[in-house]
Structure 1
């Protein structure tokens, strides 16, 4: 038996429990606590291009599109509005738009949202009503007469952020900063032999600088709050900040940060969804003292590009690493990654040539 779903449409903001701008990690974690409502979740992505959008299919009603680079909820698509086996009620400002007993038609959209520009679909800032099923071309159907037009049945509803011109946003755009992001990590600037500078939303917030060999466990707790988990390893222990996609290795003797690990949360990798994507960058040395924009490589650059950036013209030592060795129940098409060692930094790369983690030491 499936739970009935009541979902309110919030123009340019969200639908039901889903908020535009939320991270993929946050939404998948949310879905774990709503398994009775959303028992079927499929994750779709392009394994050859890990920074293209990710889509969550929540059968049978919802498709959630996440931006490719920062993995944030970009668009919500609602379909099969009146599936009798999976009851869904859509509301807008506490009024029922669609339900098992109420069919949403063009005239109903006009009454609820007002007039809009003529066209095959009804588009308003932050929401779009379509009268075609997925995969059907507008040209496949003959134009309806005005009387039939009024009674056209809505087949899909799409909710996205409002563009600067008031229109719909491109599906490949990144999500604009919004309140749901506040307090989350905006970027992590890694500096070899130094540490990492963390900048949070809103971007005007003061950055946090974690120094290797200097910052203490108490400093981390004061600046970042308590870790979600502490993992003990021989004489040291890791502070796991899954919500930021970062681990800190703390010396058990001095309680000082010894290593920093930044995770990319690449779909298909062994650690996918254990950590939120950390939007890391590796900063190089400035060309001179007056250079206020030193060169950087980013988490979506290919491993060859980053390797050349760190050590031009040299081949770093490498080794294979299988994270599934200790997890017999986990099977992946490609579970083996490659570790590449440089002075003060280690890259972990997948077969897709994406760097899935960076270790500073």
Structure 2
């Protein structure tokens, strides 16, 4: 394995590792080069993988990467072993701008000396700060800091850095962060909105015409979704039953892959729901197993030849409809869109004051039946420890019509309680509501069982988003589906939402 060599961009990046990059993007890049990064350790809190930090350790390269939990953005890059990495500043042929790795000292330490950092690499800076709890002296530059081991009796308050640190002192680590100094950055390190990775000069090759990234999907009910851009704050709307594939591509760009539906093993539940439903009961107030044809695509594209594998269901209309359905997979945005013939979207939520809403006119009535439109959207949580982890970037969502709100960072028991209260007027009784909202258990580890929260769209074997050479905690292959009008949640054993389907 060759030595990892990376250019330092203080406050922005170390090589291709750019602050603000998503966990999905970084892991995908690391796994694409197993010779260069032979070992990847993923560390997270299994009880709270959403709100706590996620760490990637690269022991063979002397690096540790820290991501926040809610957005899964790279916030801190740490060099923890200088003997396994070569760091340099531009111009690359200026040897005095290399963070050289001197020969190991008699005590076995290796790394740049304080004199080299101060005199040849970055230059003078303000005095650092002493962290007594860590027995560490932090020397900060804008966007980069070095940690020097220092015993409490060696630190003298008010003494300048040149007098305090010996010229031969070797730092134990280096950190790349966004901020003028480590002291100033600590308060906003995990919440600051970082600049777009696409605007980072080394990555911005030519004119970038790709649309701005989607950071949040607001669910308004009735098939209406608002997609909010991350950096511009602008938004656009998807109306299920109306938005066309052309409009999707215009706003989101072409999909990363297209998956054509061909698996009908869950169709029996839809047949049963159709045969037992009555005209007085709203069509979207069904059990989650009745909705198991609503959700998500696999993470690898399928060819048109897959359509020939349709195992027939004796229903010509169903077969014709299925052949026209496909998923637009947006792996790097964190969601899928089902494109199919028009279907009636879910009903709008009941008013908060409990009054009966007026009859809603379905949007599809003005849509020609031979024209494909967006009918469902699947938002992925990319929760560490879940079976589909790293197939998609994490995309955040919020249910805007719920009093008190509910977001992708809200534990599902709280989301469930608020949804039950909001939709109580839509059911005839509490018993009917409980019957319709009970969970359905899935085991993703069985190849012939439902392979995703609602669609049977193929396995993950051999997929580019699979675990690869990542070493982490065991995957949770058993999840539970909970259905509400217009929504299906896939929930992990820990109570966090792995994916939500909107229809």
TM over 0.5: yes
How far apart are 1:146 and its partner, in Å?
Answer: 4.4
Instruction: Report how far residue 115 of structure 1 moved.
Output: 2.6
1:159 matches 2:167 = no
Q: Is the 8 A contact 2:141 2:181 kept in 1?
A: no
Check whether the contact 1:239–1:248 (CA below 8 A) recurs between aligned residues. yes
How much is the aligned-residue C-alpha RMSD, in angstroms?
A: 2.7
**CA-CA distance at 1:141 after TM superposition:** 7.3
Q: In the alignment, what sits opposite 1:203?
A: 232
Equivalent in the alignment of 2:452: none
SS of the counterpart of 1:167?
helix
Q: Which runs of 4+ in 1 moved over 6 A?
A: 328-331
**Secondary structure in 1 aligned to 2:184?**
coil
Contact 1:191 1:284 in 2 (8 A): yes
The 3-state SS of whatever aligns with 2:406 is strand
Supply the distance in 2 between the matched residues of 1:151 and 1:209 (Cα, whole angstroms).
Answer: 60
The one of the two structures with greater contact order (alpha-carbon pairs below 8 A, sep at least 6) is 2
In structure 1, distance between residues paired with 2:55 and 2:379: 24
Select the residue among 394, 401, 413 that pairs with 1:277: 394
Q: How much does 1:237 deviate?
A: 1.1
**Cα deviations by residue, 1:133-162 (Å, 9 ceiling, x for unpaired):** xxxxx5477559948622101221001111
- What CA distance in whole angstroms lies between the structure 2 residues aligned with 1:171 and 1:63? 20
Number of aligned residues: 342
Deviation at 1:173, TM superposition (A): 1.9
Q: Give the structure with the higher percent helix.
A: 2
Q: What is the rounded CA distance, in whole Å, between the counterparts of 1:302 and 1:46 in structure 2?
A: 15
Q: CA deviation at 1:181?
A: 6.2
Q: Is the 8 A contact 2:114 2:166 kept in 1?
A: yes
In the other structure, the counterpart of 1:323 is: 444
User: Contact 2:380/2:498 (CA < 8 Å) preserved in 1?
Assistant: yes
Which protein is richer in strand relative to its size?
Answer: 1
State the partner residue of 2:379: 262
Partner of 1:24: 23
Q: CA deviation at 1:343?
A: 1.1
Shift of 1:266: 0.4
Distance 1:341 1:110, change over 3 A: same
Aligned-partner Cα distance in 2 for 1:53–1:194: 34
* Alignment of structure 1 residues 1-361 onto 2, 5 Å: 2-51=1-50, 52-60=52-60, 61-82=62-83, 86=84, 88-94=85-91, 95-99=97-101, 103-111=111-119, 112-119=122-129, 120-132=137-149, 138-139=150-151, 142=154, 146=163, 149-162=166-179, 167-170=184-187, 173-180=190-197, 183-205=212-234, 207-234=235-262, 235=322, 236-251=325-340, 253-284=370-401, 295-312=404-421, 315=434, 316-326=437-447, 327=459, 332-361=474-503
Deviations 1:60-79 (A, max 9, x none): 31100001110000000002
The farther-off stretch of 328-337 and 97-106 is 328-337
**Normalized against structure 1, the TM-score is what?**
0.87
